[in-house]
A and B are shown apart, each in its own frame.
Chain A
Amino acid sequence: MKDKKNDLLQGTLDLLVLKSLALGPLHGLGVSDRIKQITQGTFQVKPGSLFPALHRLEEAGWLKSSWGESENNRRAKYYRLTKAGQRQLKIETDAWQRISVAISSALEAT
Chain B
Amino acid sequence: MPFLPRVKSLRRNLFNKEDVDHELNEEIRAHLDLLTETKIKQGLSPEDARRAALVELGGVEQIKESVREVRHGRLLEDLAQDARYAVRSLRKHPGFTFVAVLTLALGIGANTAIFSVINAVLLRPLPYANADRLVLLTETVSERPIGVSYPNFVDWRNQSTTFENIAAVRHRDSFNLTGAGESERLQGRLVSANFLSTLGVNPIAGRDFVAEDDRPGAAPTVILSHALWQRRFGGDQKIIGSQLTLNRQSFTVIGITPAEFQYGPDADVTVPISSQAERYAARGRDPGIETVARIKPGVSVEAANAELNTIAARLEQQYPESNNGHRVRLDSLREATVGDIRPTLLTLLGAVGLVLLIACANVANLLLARSTRRQKEIAIRTALGAGRRRILRQLFTESVLLAIAAGVAGLILALVGTSLLCSYLPEDIPRIREITTDAPVLVFTLAASLLTGVLFGLAPALQTSKPALTETLKEGERNSSPGHNRTGKILVVTEVALTLVLLIGAGLLVKSFWRLMQVDPGFNPENLLAMQIAVNANPDEGPRVANFLDQLQQRVRQTPGVQSVAISNGLPFESANQPAFVIEGQAPAEPGKEPNGILYIVSPDYLETLQITVMRGRTFSAHDTPGTTPVALIDEVFARQYFPNQDPLGKRLRQAGSNTEYREIVGIVRHVEHTNLEGRSAERGEIYTAFNQIPVDRLPRFVRRVNLLARTTVDPLSLAQSVRGQIAALDKDQAVFNVRTMEQALSRSVAARRFSMILLSEFATLALILAAVGIYGVISYSVAQRTREVGIRMALGAQTTDVLRLIVRDGLKLVVIGVLVGLAGAFMLSRLLTTLLFGVTPTDTLTYATVALVLVGVALAACYIPARRAAKVDPLVALRFE
Residues of A whose CB lies within 8 Å of any CB of B are 1-3, 27-29, 46-48, 51-52, 55-56, 58-61, 70, 72, 74-77, 84
Contacts and interface: CB of A to CB of B under 8 A. Distances in A.
B71 to A, nearest CB: 6
B35 to A, nearest CB: 6
Contacts of B59: 48
Interface in B1-45: 1-2, 5-6, 9, 23-24, 26-28, 30-31, 33-35, 37-38
Nearest to B74: A59
B56 A59 contact: no
The secondary structure that dominates the A interface is mixed
10 contacts: A2-B62, A47-B28, A48-B59, A48-B66, A51-B31, A51-B67, A56-B70, A59-B72, A61-B1, A70-B34
A76 B34 contact: yes
B65 A2 contact: yes
B31 A46 contact: no
A75 B34 CA distance: 9
B37 A47 contact: no
A27 B72 CA distance: 22
**Which of B26, B56, B70, B387 has the most C-beta atoms of chain A within 10 angstroms of its own C-beta?**
B70
A61 B67 contact: no
B57 A47 contact: yes
A52 B70 contact: yes
Contacts of B65: 2
A71 B856 CA distance: 81
B482 interface: no
Interface of B: 1-2, 5-6, 9, 23-24, 26-28, 30-31, 33-35, 37-38, 56-59, 62-63, 65-67, 69-72, 385, 387
Contact of A52 (B28, B33, B66): B66
Per CB-CB distance, the 9 closest pairs between chain A and chain B, nearest first, are A2-B66, A56-B70, A61-B5, A29-B34, A77-B27, A52-B66, A76-B30, A55-B67, A61-B2
Nearest to B65: A2
A84 B1 CA distance: 8
Contacts of B57: 47
A75 B30 contact: yes
A55 B70 contact: yes
Most buried by B among A2, A3, A60, A70: A2
Nearest to B387: A2
A27 B57 CA distance: 15
Contacts of A48: 58-59, 62-63, 66
A98 B596 CA distance: 93
Contact of B34 (A56, A61, A74): A74
A29 B38 contact: yes
Contacts of A75: 26, 30
Given A51-B67, A55-B71, A56-B70, A77 B26 contact: yes
B9 A59 contact: yes
Contacts of B5: 61
A70 B33 CA distance: 11
Nearest to A65: B27
Contacts of B26: 75, 77
B262 to A, nearest CB: 60
Q: Which of A27, A55, A72 has the most CB of B within 10 A?
A: A55
A60 B4 CA distance: 11
B28 A51 contact: yes
Contacts of B67: 51-52, 55
Nearest to B59: A48
Contacts of B63: 47-48, 51-52
A83 to B, nearest CB: 10
B6 A61 contact: yes
Given A61-B6, A75-B30, A47 B69 contact: no
Contact of A77 (B9, B30, B56, B385): B30
Contacts of B27: 28, 51, 77
B30 A51 contact: no
Given A61-B5, A77-B27, A29 B66 contact: no
A46 B56 contact: yes
Contacts of B62: 1-2, 48
Contacts of A59: 6, 9, 70-72
A28 B57 CA distance: 12
B392 to A, nearest CB: 15
B794 to A, nearest CB: 47
B69 A52 contact: yes
Contacts of A46: 56, 58
Contacts of A77: 23, 26-27, 30
A12 to B, nearest CB: 16
A47 B56 contact: yes
A58 B5 CA distance: 10
Contacts of A61: 1-2, 5-6
B51 to A, nearest CB: 15
Given A48-B58, A48-B62, A59-B9, 18 more contacts: A2-B69, A27-B34, A29-B35, A47-B28, A47-B56, A47-B58, A52-B67, A52-B69, A52-B70, A56-B70, A59-B70, A72-B37, A75-B26, A75-B30, A76-B31, A77-B23, A77-B26, A84-B2
Nearest to A84: B2
A74 B36 CA distance: 12
Contacts of A47: 28, 31, 56-58, 63
A88 B140 CA distance: 80
A32 B2 CA distance: 27
Contacts of A56: 70
A59 B28 CA distance: 18
A47 B56 CA distance: 8
A55 B1 CA distance: 15
A28 to B, nearest CB: 5
Contact of A29 (B9, B31, B387): B31
A1 B65 CA distance: 10
Nearest to A57: B70
A51 B66 CA distance: 8
Contacts of B72: 59
Contacts of B56: 46-47
Contacts of A27: 30-31, 34
A61 B6 CA distance: 8
A55 B71 CA distance: 7
A55 B38 CA distance: 24
Nearest to A58: B9
A51 B70 CA distance: 10
Contacts of A72: 37
A29 B35 CA distance: 7
Contacts of A74: 30, 33-34, 37
A60 B67 CA distance: 13
Nearest to B37: A72
A34 B70 CA distance: 23
B31 A28 contact: yes
A72 to B, nearest CB: 6
A63 to B, nearest CB: 11
A10 B24 CA distance: 21
Given A1-B62, A1-B387, A46-B58, A60 B1 contact: yes
Contacts of A3: 387
A48 B69 CA distance: 12
A93 B26 CA distance: 32
Contacts of A28: 27, 30-31, 34
A12 B31 CA distance: 23
A65 B66 CA distance: 18
Contacts of B30: 27-28, 74-77
Contacts of A52: 63, 66-67, 69-70
A52 B71 CA distance: 9
B14 to A, nearest CB: 13
Nearest to B20: A55
Contacts of A84: 1-2
A49 B26 CA distance: 18
Contacts of B31: 27-29, 47, 51, 76
